[in-house]
A = this chain, B = another copy of it.
């Protein structure tokens, strides 16, 4: 009897995960992977950190944790999987259940029959059709080859221009600053991480970029690249030009679906291959996983193209189960993302307020800041947390976090609650792990949940930093009330604030105008909220505290000069 053959096109994350899991489930079928590159089964997400210089041997990204390179021999001997590297799938013939494969070196072509076919063709960086894209020194970061090229160019380059301030753009900004280049980051939108985080978090990221010398240019689109002797030397936008001997294109990626589309498989509205929870395509013999497929946003049912190594791995496992007779499903994503940016981290999951509104929820949100562990414990750092909840059901809808402090574990708590449709009350009641080196007795997550419950329960009204900034720019009459201590106010201030320390507030209420809206704030959010409660109890009607205090304030701060108490 002829062995069943599972043919897999693409051998980076989803393809190799499928192959490896399938071999463990199915010891007899022939498993063949067709991979365009010579190097495969690598962790592409680590490539920016190779460019940064955090590890020296690029091959580490395709090694096992114990240092074995995952090459053809490794897959054959250890895994029992055949990898045809340097071979490109040219055409899928669904009628004959075969794929035309061309070997790069020999240029020979050959049909490979399949019983089941897996598409793990990944995605490609978008390279816009503007003049100069062909110049040397204009690169994107997707493959190991790309990382090698950027690494080489970075040795002698002085001025890098990165086009696109998404995840890769930010990671590359950090990497190239670490390599000693002057870095200009061009972003067409009015904020970094557009569509990923809200404006306040984007502003915190922008501040971090500036702090580390990155020249961030928002609302700036690349018009053309200019070169000298074939090498890029200048990036030109509508408003000006920037020296550039290295240009990183990071405006986005598109799923690689040419093979699938040519074979008549159904393509989704985002451009990715359309699949189901079992990773089946519109052909019952063909499956797809990883960066080439569309995913479903679990909360809204919306189709997304959101390529991630983690998603690819989870999908690959589900796909292997499907082929290997086990049962599992891929339920979709929450759009969870995390990125390190110099000394900051940013993370998000679920829906923003705007996305929640669009999806028909009645969202409410809170922004808080607080220390990530007990304040006397060494290494304590602040975190900023925004939670989004539905007013009616009190169900959690999403979160965004930033901070030098620990946020990856905290965003994952929200991921867990979102997955099981937990409420803000569930979050507030979690028996989270507490000891001074790891958390505060009331974890910042608890603080955020309680602050949001206070808002839902109408114990307090508040402004987000963005809302407050907007109202101030509209010249709405407001008294911004700093209830910190004079010592704190000497260090750093939000411009235009009047200082009355919280401890004096009860005695000095008569100094405050009863008819003007009062916006108290402090370093974090706690005293600001407490001041609001005192003012409301004293009969002030228009009181809204400023969420997140000075620590979360992403706009202009004054520092240095001494200010007398008001």
A binding-site residues for B, Cβ under 8 Å: 13, 23-25, 27-28, 43, 45-46, 49-50, 54-55, 60-61, 63, 65-66, 68, 74, 77-80, 167, 298, 308-314, 317, 326, 328-340, 345, 347, 349, 370-371, 374-378, 406, 408-413, 415-417, 419-422, 425-426, 428-439, 441-443, 446, 450, 453, 457, 459, 484-485, 488, 502-504, 506, 522-524, 527, 529-530, 533-534, 537-538
Contacts and interface: CB of A to CB of B under 8 A. Distances in A.
Given A416-B416, A431-B419, A408 B439 contact: yes
Given A413-B412, A506-B77, A533-B27, A328 B376 contact: no
A28 to B, nearest CB: 8
B340 A435 contact: yes
Contacts of A484: 66
A533 B24 contact: yes
A338 B438 contact: yes
Nearest to A551: B65
B503 A66 contact: no
A431 B49 contact: no
B533 A13 contact: no
A431 B45 contact: no
Most B C-beta atoms less than 10 A away, residue of A46, A370, A426, A529? A46
A20 to B, nearest CB: 8
A437 B506 contact: no
A43 B408 contact: no
Given A336-B431, A408-B438, A410-B409, A60 B502 contact: no
Contacts of A457: 326
A318 to B, nearest CB: 9
A388 to B, nearest CB: 16
A408 B312 CA distance: 26
22 contacts: A27-B537, A43-B374, A45-B436, A46-B376, A49-B376, A55-B376, A55-B378, A65-B370, A66-B485, A66-B523, A78-B530, A332-B431, A334-B431, A336-B432, A336-B434, A337-B433, A339-B435, A416-B417, A416-B422, A419-B426, A419-B430, A420-B426
A419 B422 contact: yes
Given A54-B376, A310-B439, A310-B441, 10 more contacts: A24-B529, A25-B459, A27-B537, A45-B374, A60-B376, A66-B488, A311-B431, A314-B446, A340-B435, A345-B437
A382 to B, nearest CB: 9
A347 B65 CA distance: 24
Contacts of A338: 433-435, 438
Nearest to A483: B78
A511 B327 CA distance: 35
A366 B141 CA distance: 38
Contacts of A74: 503
A436 B308 CA distance: 12
A313 B77 contact: no
Contacts of A68: 485
B416 A349 contact: no
B309 A441 contact: yes
Nearest to A377: B49
Nearest to A380: B65
A308 B413 contact: no
Nearest to A340: B437
Given A46-B377, A328-B425, A375-B65, A408 B433 contact: yes
B420 A413 contact: no
A314 to B, nearest CB: 7
Contact of A412 (B80, B340, B412): B412
Contacts of A311: 431
Contacts of A310: 431-432, 434, 439, 441-443
Contacts of A328: 425, 428, 453
A442 B310 CA distance: 6
Nearest to A538: B27
A65 to B, nearest CB: 4
Nearest to A523: B66
A447 to B, nearest CB: 10
A396 B289 CA distance: 28
Contacts of A50: 376
Contacts of A347: 433
A412 B409 contact: yes
Contact of A411 (B337, B340, B433, B488): B433
A50 B371 CA distance: 18
A50 B421 CA distance: 41
A371 B80 CA distance: 25
A49 B436 contact: yes
Nearest to A484: B66
Contacts of A420: 416-417, 420-422, 426
A523 B332 CA distance: 32
A374 B60 CA distance: 10
Contacts of A167: 435
B24 A80 contact: no
Contacts of A77: 503-504, 506
